[in-house]
Structure 1
Amino acid sequence: MIVLPVPMVVALLLGFLFLRATLFTETPRLLAALLLACACQSVTVSVVQYYGVSELRLLQPITASLIPALAWVAFLEGAIRSQPKSRDLLHFLIPIVMACAVLAIPVTIDALLAVIFVGYGVAILVMLHRHSDDLANTRLASGHFPAVIWRIIAIALIASAISDICITLALSYGYRGAPGLILSVFSSVALLMIGFLCLSPDIVTEPVEGDGDEYDAPSNAPGLHRQENAPHKTNEDVPVHAIMEQLEALVIGKKLYLDPDLTLARLARRLGFPLKQVSTAINLVTGENVSRYINKLRIEHACRELETGQNVTTAMLASGFNTKSNFNREFLRITGSTPTKWQSHSTVTQQTSISQ
């Protein structure tokens, strides 16, 4: 009977997911690369720890250091901005730095690897907090779910670093059999979690050509000029009234909220204001983030559709949602009921009103 170690099973599963993602889905290249990196790392861990291929032991921390760098760049270009930046390539120098440490100062390998994983994980968490879960290029129909996915990926990176620290401590206390167990449990679970989350349709987005990052004001922005070293604007600097006036005219007047592919980047571009200012204005006036503001309008539209007798699927598609999971989640959050129950209650209420 052939018995495979847990990391090898994880590697095979991630490899299958990678092939499925590249052959049958439109997974962005960076997310696909992150999935492949996780699969390769699982293979490396398996052959080193369980098959005794000690020649690859020095390669293990080098390949591992690529994973957090890929996760960070994929996060930036998939959630924060759509246009790649040349400076992002600098993050891919991390494996070279790790290789230098492996060859010149091997005693620093564990500490450096932990710093890299924790550093990138914390950076993602800080960026999410800074943006209040308003991600530029994720579909607003997904609500807060894309931010939740990226937050879990960040935590998985940190957890992977904790596993390295546990291995170091175990070896220092003489527990020679601990590394294999720790890698099987912590690292394998972390890598598998990252791999699965990479395929979530809520973070798989199609970039919009010409969208800028959160500080890029479009060239036609009224009274705004992009400056490379411009100071961060406070809430008092945000033209809230002008933004909300144009927002209502565009989103409500022209029913832009019914666009299922609407993102914060597209919305800001249509308004002619920077992303951060649009997000801040909506939050100041409504007390909600952008996705909740848009999805509330969509659910109100869906309720009107349901009241006319449309079935749930038709109402969902007509209101700017692509998936029932997102629609049901937002419908429950806003109305406190499922679409089917809400429609049944609405029908009974209408019949009672007519009979009276």
Structure 2
Amino acid sequence: MLFIPLPFVLTLLLCIILFRLYQQRETLPSSQLFLTLISTYTLGTALVGIRWGYGITAVQPIMAVCAVSWAILAWLCFRSLTIEGASIIWRKDYVHALPVVAVLLQILLMPDLIDILIIATDVFYGYLLLKLARQGQSALKTVRLEQVTTVHKGLYATAYILMLFAVLDVVIFIDIEIFGGKYAASLITFANIPMIFALGFVASLASQSQPQTRVVEANGESVLKSVPDQSATKETERADTDLSTDKALVERLDKFMRETELYKDVDLNLAKLARKFGIPTRQISAAVNKVKSINVSQYVNAYRVQALCELLESSDQPIIQLQLETGFQTKSNCNREFLRVTGLSPSQWREQKRQPTS
């Protein structure tokens, strides 16, 4: 009977994700980064199957390069969801290539120390991702507001999984030193299972990333075709901002949302809202959170729910069509937010409103 290692099964699943993402590459600003990340995961899982399924040790140097690369690429991918402009600026980001260079040198000069570098890389970039996640959803300002909660959870998950990889590498190192690698094959094989969950999050992020189109300039930087967000230059310390100022800002924002119906834009993200409203992203996020005790995504979705309620009562059109008209892109998110705001599903709300009063 033909033996097919588990990593090869995961490799096949990753190839499917890669193919679907490749088909969307023209419409996804960050698709190249995510394609590179998932390609690295795909190669890594295939090499694990070759090494531990068939005992071919010649692939170990490539495995080491992959292990270092996917931590770096995971950081760059998530960071790209926090900025408008170039995903990578080489004159600043070249430092992220140093761990890969160090691994290549260690392969040639000090192969016994490779595991230490891999562990250190996982811990360092896991920490960077965790630090980014702790900034809150407002940090992911180029992600559509409808998906920002899922993306934020994916950010946390990726950070923790990188940390888990570091722990597993330590356990494997101890197993090899004490037990001669008796459990290494099983540990390495099942270490790929959390990775596939991370990839699921990454693929989701890639398919729902920034809607804007990038334009590359001669100096290697990039800007958006739309009006650039000036929040980076306008943001100031808000520690001394009083509640009355926040309330005034939210009142202005309420009026703006009612007049423009910007919430109906399915591609709306925090960066676009800030540009249209003319207020920095962090200031909007802080004011909404302070005054309404909700995040910006929930704030916008509340307007969508209100608009949907009006249409459900006045229109006989299918619910799925009405949800698109009010800015919801997916049925699951619509049902979740509608339940959060009204305590009912859209169909229950329509049925209740149309019952004859006694």
TM-score normalised per structure 2: 0.85
Q: CA deviation at 1:70?
A: 0.6
Post-superposition shift, 1:159? 2.0
In the TM superposition, what is the alpha-carbon distance from 1:53 to its structure 2 partner?
A: 2.4
The aligned residue for residue 226 of structure 1 is 233
CA displacement at 1:104 relative to structure 2: 3.3
What residue in structure 2 maps to residue 118 of structure 1? 123
Q: Deviations over 1:59-91 (max 9, x none)?
A: 3212210001111111011x2113124123432
User: 1:151 matched to which residue of 2?
Assistant: 156
Distance 2:206 2:343 in 1: 23
Note if contact 1:31-1:74 (Cα within 8 Å) is conserved in structure 2.
Answer: yes
Q: TM-score normalised to the size of structure 1?
A: 0.86
SS at structure 1 position matched to 2:179: coil
Give the aligned CA root-mean-square deviation in angstroms: 2.6
In the TM superposition, 1:1-356 aligns within 5 A as: 1-23=1-23, 26=27, 28-77=31-80, 79-84=81-86, 85-86=88-89, 87-132=92-137, 135-142=140-147, 144-186=149-191, 188-200=192-204, 204-208=208-212, 209=214, 210=223, 218=230, 226=233, 233-236=237-240, 240=246, 243-310=249-316, 311-348=318-355, 351-352=356-357, 356=358
Aligned partners of 1:143 and 1:292 also within 8 Å: no
Q: Distance in 1 between matches of 2:229 and 2:14?
A: 40
Following TM superposition, by how much is the alpha carbon of 1:132 offset from its aligned partner in structure 2, in angstroms? 4.3
Mapped to 2, the partners of 1:134 and 1:247 lie a distance apart of: 20
Q: Counterparts of 1:104 and 1:197 in 2: how far apart (Å)?
A: 37
Distance in 1, matches of 2:337 and 2:148, equals 7
CA 1:146–1:24 in 2, change beyond 3 Å: closer, same or farther?
closer
Partner of 2:220: none
Query: Percent identity among equivalent residues?
Result: 26
Once residues 248 and 260 of structure 1 are traced to their aligned partners in structure 2, the CA distance between those partners, rounded to angstroms, is 18
TM-superposed CA distance for 1:119, in Å, is 2.0
How far has the Cα of 1:176 moved from its partner?
2.0
| Partner amino acid, structure 2, of 1:335 | T
What SS is found at the alignment partner of 1:140? coil
Shift of 1:133: 5.5
Task: Please give the per-residue CA displacement for 1:223-253, whole angstroms capped at 9, x wherever unaligned.
Answer: xx938xx9x6233259635643442232222
Instruction: Look up the equivalent residue of 2:85 and give its one-letter code.
Output: Q
- Specify every segment of 5 or more residues in structure 1 that has no aligned partner in the other structure, as ranges: none
Structure 2 unmatched ranges of 5 or more? 215-222
